[in-house]
Structure 1
Amino acid sequence: MTYRIDPVVLHQVTKGAVGRPLYNGELITRTIESLAEHYPGLIDPTPGRWVASKAGGVLGKVRFLYFSPREYLVIFGSPTGTQGFSGRYKHIDIHKFLLAGRIDSYDVESDATTPLPPLLPGGHTCLERGHARGLTIHPGSWHLEYGRGAVATTLPFAMVDTLLVSLEIESVRRSAVEFGKLARRRFRRDESDAPKWVR
């Protein structure tokens, strides 16, 4: 099965962005520009819109960069920190590449009573299919999140907390608008021009 985004490239982009200032937006801006350089026509280098996201109790801001039926790429973070449940996905692997801050996590079902190694700037971790974690995202933490698999299976977890628990309809509406923009961009693009990698 072929995919358009390579986790190795995402890790390189992350490591190249670490250390850039966060307060003036340079860290996020340069990360997106670098992704657009690696994936011309796939990632739009122009600033997108931040959207509120709450899933599994984890509240933060998300910027959508790319999605298709088998892949998605976003930037997610929280200026003040947050914690909660990772979710359990049976049909998708979710990679996190930390740009700034720190993420602590633990396996919710293992016999271990100690946390997993912390995710630090420049680091990479993967929540494999069928697994679940508890996590703490420290203040000022921002990461690239890349999902590979059946993307539609993540939507109930991603939307139910925001819509039914928080009753935050506006965030769902804004997310739908951003998804729509990416979908139109994807369908306008000549797919034969985008690079592909084999898993």
Structure 2
Amino acid sequence: MAPKNGNHRPLKRTPPAPSPNRTWTKTLILSSLTILLFSMIYQFLDSRLESFYIFSPAQLKDVSGRAIEKHGNDTSSVVKFIVDELSEKLPGGYVNLDEEWIFNNAGGAMGAMYIIHASITEYLIIFGTAIGTEGHTGRHTADDYFHILSGTQLAYAPGPGSYLPEVYPQGSVHHLRRGTAKQYKMDEACFALEYARGWIPPMLGFGYADAFTSTLDFPTLWRTTWVTGREMVMNLLRGKL
């Protein structure tokens, strides 16, 4: 018996599956637009980096020089002089007054660091060792200034006719330009006020790599992450990029 017209239900048609070519095209377009957007944001911010800085190489060279002139080889007093003056000139928590010393293994070199300031566009640390070290500087997304507070730092960059080391004694500044790399050595006891200005987060991979491939010192890795992250977040909350 044939069904009555009122009870007839039309068959549902399954929509055709999108073709793989259309899916890949859509993904490619979205990916390209995303990359373009981030590139534009990066170019915009990178061209205005100077407006985000609260320190300057000239300022840090000046305070380091006066600290050395007053305290000589008393490195502890030199560091205190620098940190106290920076804290007075930059109130509001931008300068970390707690001497939280942490081992630092990077580029094959080992020393210790005290993080004075860390933000998205700047970091300022005391870095050094009492027994000497040697390694690769890394190739960074920021300019790096080593203000030598005690001891001597040697550096070497290969090139035609380059057979002698660069020598940076106490009171001098070693400027590692953004995107360049060198071999460096801190001969015996040497400590520096290290200042980086540029894009700091991409530099963290260099600082973490040895923990995963060599030292396996995860407690130190955690302390480094905690102190760096804490300072970066607190500075972001203060409006400091």
TM over 0.5: yes
- On the 8 A contact 2:112/2:129 being kept in 1, the answer is yes
The reply to whether residue 25 of structure 1 matches residue 76 of structure 2 is yes
Q: Does 1:173 align with 2:225?
A: no
Bigger CA drift: 12-21 or 55-64? 12-21
Whether the 8 Å contact between 2:75 and 2:150 is mirrored in structure 1 is no
Change (3 A) 1:171 1:138: same
1:121 pairs with one of 170, 193, 201: 170
- Equivalents in 1 of 2:228, 2:212: separation in Å? 16
Q: Is the 8 A contact 1:22 1:28 kept in 2?
A: no
Q: Does 1:63 align with 2:114?
A: yes
Task: State, as a whole percentage, how many aligned pairs show the same letter.
Answer: 26
Select 1:4's aligned residue among 32, 54, 63. Answer: 54
Instruction: Report the Cα offset of residue 23 of structure 1.
Output: 5.9
User: Structure with the greater relative contact order (CA < 8 A, sep ≥ 6): 1 or 2?
Assistant: 1
2:126 partner letter: I
The structure carrying a bigger strand percent of its residues is: 1
CA distance in 1, matches of 2:75, 2:126: 16
Alignment match, 2:104: 53
Specify whether residues 160 and 129 from structure 1 end up closer, same or farther in structure 2 by C-alpha distance, changes over 3 A only: same
Report deviation, 1:109: 4.5
Change (3 A) 1:80 1:181: same
Tell me which residue corresponds to 2:10.
none
- The equivalent of 1:99 in structure 2 is 149
8 Å contact from structure 2 (residues 75, 149) kept in 1:
no
The correspondence of residues 140-155 of structure 1 with structure 2, limited to 5 A, is 140-155=189-204
Give TM-score, length-normalised by structure 1: 0.86
Count of matched residue pairs: 188
TM-score of the aligned structures, taking structure 2 as reference length: 0.72
Q: Does 1:84 align with 2:148?
A: no
Equivalent residue for 2:211, pick from 162, 166, 178: 162
Q: Is the 8 A contact 1:93 1:129 kept in 2?
A: yes
Deviation at 1:111, TM superposition (A): 4.1
Give the stretch that moved more between structures: 126-135 or 178-187: 178-187
Deviations 1:104-142 (A, max 9, x none): 1111345411112x1111111211122111111022211
Asked if residue 185 in structure 1 is aligned to residue 234 in structure 2, the reply is yes
Q: Which runs of 5+ in 2 are unaligned?
A: 1-47
Partners of 2:191 and 2:161 in 1: CA distance: 29
CA distance in 2, matches of 1:109, 1:36: 41
User: Residue 34 of structure 1 is aligned with which of 85, 99, 115?
Assistant: 85
Is the radius of gyration larger for structure 1 or structure 2?
2
Is there any run of 5+ residues in structure 1 with no aligned partner, and where?
195-199
